[in-house]
Structure 1
Amino acid sequence: MSSKMLPVIQPVPVPSGSAAYEAAREAILGEFAAAVPDQLHLPPSTVQKPPRNVTRIPGECGLLSALDLEITEKHDGYALAKAIASGRFTAVAVATAFAKRAIIAHQLTACLTEWFMDEAIAQAEALDAHLASTGKTVGPLHGVPVSIKAHIPIAGHWSNVGYLSTVKKDRSDCQMVAILRKAGAVFYCKTNQPQAIMHLESTSLYGRVLNPHNINLSAGGSSGGEAALIALRGSVLGVGTDIGGSIRGPAAFCGIYGFKPTSYVLPMKDFLPGGAAAELNILCSTGPMCTSLRDMDLFMSLMASAKPYLEDPRVIPLPWTGLASAPLQNSPPLKVGFMMHDGAIIPQPPVTRALEWARSRLEQTPGFQVQSFEPYQVAQAVKNIRLAYWPDGGRDSRQRLAEAGEPVLPLTEWILADASRGPPLDSFGVLQQRLDRDEFRCNFSQHWESQDVDLVICPSFVGPACAHETAWYWNYTAFWNYVDYPGVVVPTPVTALAKGAEDYASSDPLSEECKHVRRLWREGDFEGAPIDLQVVARRYHDSDLLGGLAALQAALELH
């Protein structure tokens, strides 16, 4: 790379492409670097010899003022909005603090694709002027910085759909960004995602996103840039998307909150130009990634109040009650089912330990009926969804990569493999996938009813954050995309221990995949990786899910 590039920690290099691809990539990264002033560069020694855990560096590097640290470390989005409205902080001070911290986070983890501090400050100045002249805020997010995933259009900024050949500058905001802007959000950066936007590791032409808690581990994908940025407090509220775990996986890997609503509870108009063939049978969702339950609730509430269904009739006009919801129809007690494994892969020891911790806490707390939840044909669902992602056999993806001489990354090959073995589907083949999906959903709905639970608590992934290039097993998130149930991942106090400090209670794997996950556990070093758990409710019971989380809040130490 040219000396004009912004130095970024990259312990595992991204594969190279053709000479033309590398030249185009260097030009893009050069433009990014040119926007970053020298005074916001980390010392070369930090990038060249980083610690394994980089979470303390933003606060200790000396590039942030005391006010910057107070703003970025001691507030969620809800509190920032209150502080700006009351005059405690100006929107300019908040935008400046988060923009500075975001570019520090990028140097530590490659979490960004674009950074535009000057524009953010200009937005904030206009908001401060409005508040000063009218005494009123423009909306519930007045002055709150919001980070946005790379493919989601913001007027005047670059987006891409996971390939160099699709990089373009957008002329207008997409519907969700327009709603956020009207609510007073300040935009200051866009965040990294993987090739094809279809990995549980965010590796792209912009670099490989690292896990702040252990840079030898993945930050997840496809919203991995968002997760790493929020974990480093370079953002407190961001937008991700999820068609197989792309919000929940990275949020769990990085120890933050992430919400995948039921499909089209939130607006996605203009998110992907030309659409995605996968959505013929598996609808994507969008949702918030953040540091608190109340920010999740705030985000959902302001989206519902904007009545996005009037512009896009695909959006379901559900009323939003969120955290204020009564705890589901069958309570008290709240019936919580624990799915300790999915019948295909037993999770690695720290995940089991977190599940046992949560189950014990609820069993000791009045108001909960705790029971086991039996898994339902997860292996079949995962097989079905992987084929449904690529009805064309992956040919469009390979063509987009070939157009720019872009290297096909290992995890792209992996996710394309099943579909690539057969010919593209015709209309009857796509229809058969739809029929199989709908039959499965009906059968699973009956299975859920037979279990008699309000919520299910289960793993977010087969382990903690995985080593780079080993994010193969999406079972615990992709299953819920296949049946289209809403899911939230929430932090726990559990972290992975030092290598060799804990192991599986049972020596019997459930499958070849389960055996492989055990081998990855023995070979890896996951020390310090946080553990999130996933909480799931029935399809379109999204407000009930948040109401259930409000009931779980004290017992599970949520905030």
Structure 2
Amino acid sequence: MSSRAFSVIQPVPVPAGTAEYNALVDAILDEFAAKVPQDLYLSQSMFDNPPTDVTAVPRECGLLSAEEVDITEKYDAVGLAEAIACKKLTAVAVATAFGKRAIIAHQLTCCLTEWFMDEAIEQAKALDVHLEATGKTVGPLHGVPVSLKEHMPLAGHYTATGFMDTRHLDTNDCQMASILRKAGAVFYVKTAQPQGIMHLEGVTPRGRVLNPHNINLSSGGSTAGEAALIALHGSVLGVGTDIGGSIRGPSGFCGIYGFKPTSSSLPMKDFLKGGFGAELNIPVSTGPMCNSLRDMDLFVSVIMAAEPWKEDPRIIPIPWTGLNGPAPKAPLKIGFLMNDGAIQPQPPATRALEWARAKLEKSPDLFTVKSFEPYGAATAIQNIRKAYWPDGGQAVRDHLAATGEPMFSLTEWVLADAPKGGELPASGVLAQRVARDEFRYAFADHWNAQDVDFVVCPVFVGPACEHDTAFYWNYTAFWNYVDYPGVVVPTPIKALKKGAEDYPEQNREVLGEEDRHVREMWAKGDFEGAPITLQIVGRRYHDNQLFAALGALKDVLELR
């Protein structure tokens, strides 16, 4: 193969900064490219004329053997752990297959910040030796490849908290990585996140993370790289974080499973050096992203079995029962939120809700299906956008100025409601807390009055959006404001070819300017092939009950 530069598909470039900043980005890209052997480069024709849907490329590009395709496509994490434990597969074969597929996925979507396949193979060799010598696995994730979001510290690898000036080499694992490593996980990549870790699109200094189903669409954010990588089967299990939809949004955009637990459920020690001011009133959650219900359940069970609250007393030690918990009392009362009172979902999202509702209504002995009336979405979203920036956004501007990093358009958008006049005094932060809690009390009363056990609603205002248009986080950020757990699950619904669907305007009241804008973006864009997922939400700290409900919903909603 002739020598050529390592390439990544980028239909929409990201902004350049100062000469200093651009040189720093170029050095990081060169460092990454130097580690990739040319025999794992995709054909130049892929970059000259890329397909809109790249999901079949890893399977068909010829860089993976038939066995490597099977390993990466036919197993979920539970299945891989079982196959390695019984010696049907070796950890080395699995690490090799996923390492190769991950770098293919990166060339298609720009989903990685680091790729260290050689290190992963050495980890896997040690695990194979241990199993051969003892006949026992080191833990329930023995040999399972796990991908981590960039800001999660991993010994010997780079971490950044959303800005170039924060990039540094870590010497120790964060608590989450340590637990996963002790359980047998093999680390091989870190994945891309956006500027400030506060966009619903993965637009990063290194490039823009693309949606594998339609590269002209966003992969979501902030856990953008995980979603694209998992959708391309370059990872079987990844870890995300969520303060406004950063697990659920990208999971929804890319058609995979994702779980945002109630806050203080899973460990986040050392995730963000120096902390994040938004957490004074809006707590972050961490959770799994993957391709099956049982993988989400496995992830949480592994983490909770390590008793992480002994190291981090912020964690509430609620025993995990998950999918194996007591079956919920039938019929389950399921509320369908068809719109939030502020923005009507775009047509494919509504079709998915109607599909799910019709499915459940066919089993009245198992489910009582109701409409769930919206409550205060506009107020909640306005309040949360203000609460994200108690410093008025000054830290963001300081980080950008440190290296000449440009402010991306979605960073400017998310800062638009930051308090003016600089940092809030303690009384201002307290006022936000009081308003938040009053809202939570009122919403709890509203939920009780609706008399439902769980709520099914959209993940976003529609399918994955076009690049640089992830403006409206209503359907995820609302649940962060009230701190309820939510799971994203795929449906068979996809956005159709442009022109195949239109708004029935005579039946839809325009709810306001944001609703009007969402309709304009739908009419203008082309979302063909974008998967549609649904969000299923439970009461605060009813995470176990939510998973028990998923067990009951599994067959009816055709979940894996």
TM-score (norm: length of structure 1): 0.98
Deviation at 1:324?
1.5
Aligned to 2:301: 301
Q: For the structure 1 residues 379 and 341, does the alpha-carbon distance in structure 2 shift closer, same or farther, using more than 3 Å as the test? A: same
Contact 1:5 1:29 (8 Å CA) reproduced: no
What residue number does 2:166 align with? Answer: 166
Give the match for residue 515 of structure 2.
514
Aligned-partner Cα distance in 2 for 1:394–1:266: 28
Deviation at 1:508, TM superposition (A): 2.0
1:4–1:30 Cα contact (<8 Å) kept: no
User: Which amino acid in structure 2 is aligned with residue 62 of structure 1?
Assistant: G
Contact 1:386–1:418, Cα closer than 8 Å, also in 2: yes
Match of 2:540 in 1: 539
Counterparts of 1:279-428 in structure 2 under 5 Å? 279-328=279-328, 331-365=329-363, 366-419=365-418, 421-428=420-427
Question: Once the two structures are aligned, what percentage of the paired residues are identical?
Answer: 67
SS in 2 for 1:418: coil
Change beyond 3 A, Cα 1:148–1:5: farther
Report the counterpart of residue 551 of structure 1 in structure 2.
Answer: 552
Partners of 2:367 and 2:346 lie apart in 1 by: 26
Who is 1:125 aligned against? 125
Distance in 2, matches of 1:26 and 1:75, equals 37
Match for residue 41 of structure 2?
41
Asked whether the equivalents of residues 148 and 240 of structure 1 are also in contact (C-alpha less than 8 Å), the reply is yes
Report the equivalent of 2:450. 451
Is the 2:394–2:422 Cα contact (8 Å) retained in structure 1? Answer: no
The code of the aligned residue for 1:359 comes to R
- Aligned twin of 2:22: 22
> Per-residue displacement from partner, 1:6-32 (whole Å, max 9, x unpaired)?
200000001000000000000001100
Structure 2, unmatched stretches of 5+, are none
How many angstroms does 1:350 deviate by? 0.1
Q: CA deviation at 1:424?
A: 1.9
Q: Residue 439 of structure 1 corresponds to which residue in structure 2?
A: 438
Distance 2:459 2:489 in 1: 9
Q: Deviation per CA, 1:47-87, whole angstroms, max 9, x where unpaired?
A: 22100000000000000011100100100000000000000
Query: Secondary structure of the residue that 1:189 maps to in structure 2?
Result: strand
The answer to whether the 8 A contact 2:202-2:224 is kept is yes
Corresponding residue number in structure 2 for 1:275: 275
TM-fit CA distance, 1:509? 1.3
Tell me the residue number matched to 2:225.
225
What per-residue deviation string (whole Å, max 9, x for no partner) do you get for residues 485-506 of structure 1?
0000000000000111112233
Q: Aligned-pair distance for 1:458? A: 0.2
Matched residue SS, 2:465:
coil
Does the Cα contact within 8 Å between 1:146 and 1:237 map onto a contact in 2?
yes
Secondary structure of 1:215's counterpart equals: strand
C-alpha RMSD of the superposition:
0.9
User: What secondary structure is seen at the aligned counterpart in 1 of 2:416?
Assistant: helix
Q: Which SS does the other structure have where 2:259 is aligned?
A: strand
Q: Which residue of 1 aligns with 2:102?
A: 102
* In structure 1, C-alpha distance between the alignment counterparts of 2:184 and 2:508, rounded to whole Å: 54
Distance 2:348 2:523 in 1: 13
- TM-superposed deviation, 1:236: 1.1
The structural deviation recorded for 1:423 is: 3.2
Work out the CA distance in 2 between the residues paired with 1:174 and 1:150.
Answer: 12
How far is 1:322 from its partner? 0.3
In structure 1, what is the Cα distance between the partners aligned to 2:499 and 2:244? 31
Q: For structure 1, which runs of at least 5 residues remain unmatched after alignment?
A: none
Aligned length: 555
Amino acid at match of 1:188: Y
Q: Which residue of structure 1 aligns with residue 468 of structure 2?
A: 469
Aligned to 1:491: 490
Residues 495-526 of structure 1, C-alpha deviations (whole Å, 9 max, x = no match): 00011111223342111100000000000000
Q: Which residue type is aligned with residue 241 of structure 1? A: T
What code does the residue aligned with 2:68 have? D
The 2-side partners of 1:400 and 1:530 are apart by: 35
